[in-house]
Amino acid sequence: MYKTKLNKILNIIEKFKNDITLPIISDFLEWFYEKINLNFNRKNVNKFLKKWEIWISKLWLNIWSEQNWEIESNYTRPVLVIKSFWVKNDHIIVLPLTKYKKPEYISFLIEKKIYDFLKYDESFILLDQIKTISKKRLIWNPIWSISNKDFVLLQNKLNNLLFNEKIEKP
């Protein structure tokens, strides 16, 4: 079984040998090491998370245009929890944040003047990058929650993007 898996990896490396560089291999090995640490770390699995909290997460390496880490931030990225399941459940649904301006229909602007924890004057919640992650990827504690007003606006925007529906104000 392991020999078959190793052969698959070697075949992929052979196929893309002209595109694979030492820094890429180094990044993947570093992420493999980090995944082992995260996988066996149980500290956040039973944590109670509230939706609409912003946490720091280790998203690390992703594919193509998926939002992942920033090297200068120790491979971490803020994420907005939009759904937390039962306390004993390991996974949550999140939206990553970025400092880069994105098209309005796929992002939600939050500003430092309202949310002083932000590193930049403007940050964008990436609605099109919705993902399910393990609670084990979360580090530290929640750093902020978004306001009720922004909660409703973001929820409407997300529902409109995903289902083309509007949610009425509570």
Q: Which domains does the chain have, with CATH numbers?
A: 41-163 (2.30.30.110)
Indicate if the pLDDT at residue 160 is higher than 80: yes
Segment 83-111, tens digit of pLDDT: 887 666 778 899 999 888 989 989 999 99
> What type of residue sits at position 39?
N
- Mean pLDDT for all residues in the chain: 80
Between CA 86 and CA 72 the distance in angstroms is 33
Segment 8-56, tens digit of pLDDT: 888 888 888 888 888 877 877 887 887 787 777 766 555 677 788 888 8
Contact 13/20 with Cβ under 8 angstroms? yes
* Residue appearing with tokens 């995903």: 162
Q: Which residues of 68-93 are buried (b: 16+ CB within 10 A; e: fewer)?
A: bbeeeeebbbbbbbbebeeeeeeebb
The percentage of residues in the chain with a pLDDT greater than 90, rounded to a whole number, is 17
pLDDT at 107: 93
Beta bridge partners of 98: 124
Contact 96/76 with Cβ under 8 angstroms? no
Tokens of 66: 């998926």
Q: What is the pTM of this model?
A: 0.74
pLDDT at 43: 65
